[in-house]
Amino acid sequence: MLALLIAKESGMIGQNDAGTPSRGEQIEAAEREAARRRLLAQAEADRIPVEETTRAVPDRRRHG
């Protein structure tokens, strides 16, 4: 795995002669984008509208 990472970072694999991403990289990028969209959708579904939350109001009275 480390050798694969080193080879990829050094430019030995991952791009064709034209400098465009390989098919595997394109698939990985699409999977990352799909995962990002799923996370954003889940976060939006879990979000609590600010109108439904209570806010702590500081006690401005002097004590003592």
Q: Is 10 a domain residue?
A: no
- What is the overall mean pLDDT for the chain? 80
Q: Is 3 a domain residue?
A: no
Rounded to 5, what percent of the chain is helix, strand, coil? Answer: 55, 5, 40
Q: Is 35 a domain residue?
A: yes
Q: Is 55 a domain residue?
A: no
Q: What is the pTM of this model?
A: 0.51
Whether the pLDDT of residue 34 is over 80: the answer is yes
Q: Is 37 a domain residue?
A: yes
pLDDT at 56: 73
pLDDT at 53: 77
User: What are the tens digits of pLDDT across the range 2-33?
Assistant: 665 566 666 555 556 677 899 999 999 999 99
Q: How many domains does the chain have?
A: 1
Q: Is 30 a domain residue?
A: yes
On the CB side of 9, how many CA atoms lie within 13 Å of its CA? 6
Q: Is 63 a domain residue?
A: no
41: containing domain: 20-48
**For residue 37, what pLDDT band results from cuts at 50, 70 and 90?**
very high
Residue with structure tokens 């990352």?
A: 32
